Amino acid sequence: MKRNSSGRMFDHGRRAAMVLVALLLLVAGVWSSWGTAQHVLLAKGREHGTLTVADCGEKTCTGSYDPEGPSAPRKGMVIERSVAVSKSATVAVVVKPGTDELVRTGWAGALHAWLPFGGALLLAALVIGGGLRMTRTAWATAAAGGALLVGAFFAL
């Protein structure tokens, strides 16, 4: 039995809506991650150093920052708290330009910065598999998101 044109239009509209939702999730994940990731990935020319953690609150940790090079050490620098940062830990960091905020560098910092994108990949995999019926692509997307989250967990 042939489908009428309104049924085909409905299918195409549903498919287009699912593509837009998946793209929106992925773009939102990249957008959310880029605020931190840019400082880790494009760290050339930024101020590098180490942070010795002195105190941790609910969301941030503070401590003394020892820069590489001739700059003087500074106290009261802030870094986002993660499960891997504890008191008296020394962490390699880069300074966000124009602020007292620090971002962790190296593989651990890069993976931690891209965590929101990993979550977006997992959510988009559900839309791709369920809404678009593209199971292989969904599994690949979910595997990439899961690998990013697991890699960040073990790197930190």
User: CB of 138 within 8 A of CB of 122?
Assistant: no
User: Which band of pLDDT confidence, cut at 50, 70 and 90, is reported for residue 2?
Assistant: low
What pTM, to 2 d.p., does this model score?
A: 0.85
Residue-level pLDDT at 44: 86
Nearest to 78 by CA among 111, 56, 98: 56
* Domains of the chain by residue range: 16-40+114-155, 45-104
**CA dist., res. 37 & res. 35, Å (int):** 6
Q: How far is CA 114 from CA 29, 127, 136, in A?
A: 8, 20, 23
Place of tokens 């050490």: 73
- What's the whole-number average pLDDT of the chain? 91
**CA dist., res. 101 & res. 86, Å (int):** 17
Statement: residue 110 has pLDDT above 70 = yes
> Distance between alpha carbon 73 and the CA centroid of its chain, in Å?
29
**CA dist., res. 28 & res. 104, Å (int):** 22
Which two three-digit tokens encode residue 134? 């593209």
pLDDT tens column, 62-95: 999 999 988 889 898 998 887 667 778 888 999 9
User: Which band of pLDDT confidence, cut at 50, 70 and 90, is reported for residue 1?
Assistant: low
Residue-level pLDDT at 23: 98
